Amino acid sequence: MSVQHFLQPGAVPTSQTRLLLSNLVKISPIAIGTWSWGDKSTWGWNEESDSKANDAFAESLKKGIGFFDTAEVYGKGESERCIARYMKNHANLISEESGNDFVIATKFLPLPYLLFYPTCLLQHLKDSLERLEVKQVDLYQIHGPIHLRSIETLADALAEAVKQGLTKTVGVSNYSTEQVIRMYDALQKHGIQLASNQIEYSLLRRVPETSGLIKACLDRGIAVLAYSPLGMGRLTGKYSVQNPPPSGRRFSDYNMELIEPVLNVMRSIAEARNVSVSSVALNWVMCKGAIPLAGAKNGEQAIANAQALGWRLSDEEIEKLDQKSIAGSNGWFWQHG
């Protein structure tokens, strides 16, 4: 069977499993989301955080997870600098001899006042490359549908980034079905496949699935990258009604009482399979055809993420989780998809 852009029905994801972005870039079936790396305002980043994230980077690679997703706005660029440092610290784990497929994805924030394309996008990408200390990224994404210029204008700019060799593939984030199809069609005119659409997707936000967005993407060869697959920590098993997460975690911001029903099912499955509670949430996302972007602030969390590999939820377990899941909704400004 040829390599696909999503985990095939019935397939068991393992540390050796590889998916494809745009038929070009091999990726692990789980990615590491690095929003917390370098971020002080939401995640309270400090020197100790840096050491722990360095461990998370290494442990992820040791477990066969070599796909790291960042953005220019994460920690005001510090997340990208973190990745550059950790790459140097663990060069042996990302060398060709290591056997790891090391992949970097980053994002461009198309603020409404940015009007001159492709110049602004190319400059922002070059700034990211400088912080990452690389000559090319594997995936460059539009961070959100907040741009005033047309999707076709941004498609032309992304195509220019590919033609200049600054990125191997291009993607979008938070795009609706209509928007992602427009971007796909616009890039096709340049002979470029839209690699991905990154959206919030989890047991606490199933609207990308129920709306048909995920199917529309997969039917066109567009990988679905699922951010906040753990509901910003709410689906890790760490928090409960008695011990709620810290305030300020805006995605999937539900009272823990609403989340307890699905957490109870997750705990039961985790206990029966002898895996982490968080790995149940990540495995569910993969079973649905998406690629979870799991945060990892330390080595222990990286190991917990990797426990989502090597097994697959049964259809019965998926149904039980679906029944207790939360639909969620879209937003007018940021989350169109």
Q: Which two tokens stand for residue 192?
A: 């470029």
Indicate the pairing of strand 19-21 with strand 137-142: unpaired
d(CA 9, CA 253): 31
d(C-alpha 262, C-alpha 254), whole Å:
12
Phi (first) and psi of residue 214, to 5 degrees: -60, -45
- 48: Cβ contacts below 8 Å, ≥ 6 apart: none
Tokens 């400004």 sit on residue: 333
Please say if 74 is a catalytic residue: yes
Tell me which of 74, 117, 201, 227 is the catalytic residue: 74
| Rounded Cα–Cα distance for residues 191 and 107 (Å) | 22
Q: Which two tokens stand for residue 237?
A: 């098993």
d(Cα 59, Cα 65) in Å, to the nearest integer?
9
Q: How far apart are CA 131 and CA 109, in angstroms?
A: 16
Write b or e for each residue in 297-319: b if 16 or more Cβ atoms lie within 10 A of its Cβ, otherwise e. bbbebbbbbbbbbeebbeeebbe
Name the residues annotated as catalytic. 74
